[in-house]
Amino acid sequence: MKIGIASDHRGFELKQKLRDSLAKLNYEVDDYGTFSEDSVDYPDFGIKLGEEVASKNDDFGIAICGSGIGISIACNKVKGIRCAKVSNELEAKYTRNDNDANIVALSSEVPFEKALEIVKVFINTPFSKEERHQRRIEKLIKYEEEK
């Protein structure tokens, strides 16, 4: 499984720790930056991550910024992306099971151990494919294609 990861400067430290831990768990991790704690603009990295996941170069993505919200908005500007900002394992489970999200966004304030558990739940929870969930996603896709 290939996982893309990106952050802004505030998420840099957590991104590095998650990237290294996922690699140790035998995931292939594509790091799309940022590569230091120097101030950057989160849209540059969120959009790049979104493009890579939408192009199927990565199976899932992890996006990190100060709040997790800005970078999730950036990711969601990319056609085919369903990025959810989550705060706990239950939200990670539901966003995969119910919404078939392909990128998870985290706040840089989430402690590393908790962030790693959230990511593990996210990437290991399959989409349920229940008719009601599929119907709702198809409405989102249809709306996106009409724009």
Sign of the Cα pseudo-torsion (137, 141, 146, 147, in order): positive
Structure tokens that stand for 115 in this block:
């962030």
Structure tokens that stand for 92 in this block:
């990670």
Per-residue pLDDT at 126 = 98
Percent of the chain's residues with pLDDT above 70? 100
Report DSSP state, residue 10.
G
pLDDT class of 147 with cuts at 50, 70, 90:
confident
* CA 66 to each of CA 1, 42, 127: distance values in angstroms, whole numbers, following the listed order: 27, 9, 28
pLDDT class of 85 with cuts at 50, 70, 90:
very high
Which position has the token pair 């239950």? 90
Summarised one tens digit per residue, pLDDT across range 111-134 is: 999 999 999 999 999 999 999 999
Per-residue pLDDT at 26 = 97
Q: Which residue has the higher pLDDT, 147 or 18?
A: 18
Does the pTM exceed 0.85? yes
Contact between 50 and 103 (Cβ < 8 Å):
yes
Looking at every residue in the chain, the average pLDDT score rounds to: 97
In sequence order, what are the residues at sequence separation of 6 or more whose Cβ sits closer than 8 angstroms to the Cβ of residue 106?
A: 11, 14, 62, 63, 64, 68, 85, 86, 115, 118, 119
Parent domain of 14: 2-146
Number of domains in the chain: 1
| pLDDT value at 24 more than 80 | yes
Q: Residue 120: give its domain's CATH number.
A: 3.40.1400.10
Per-residue pLDDT at 111 = 98
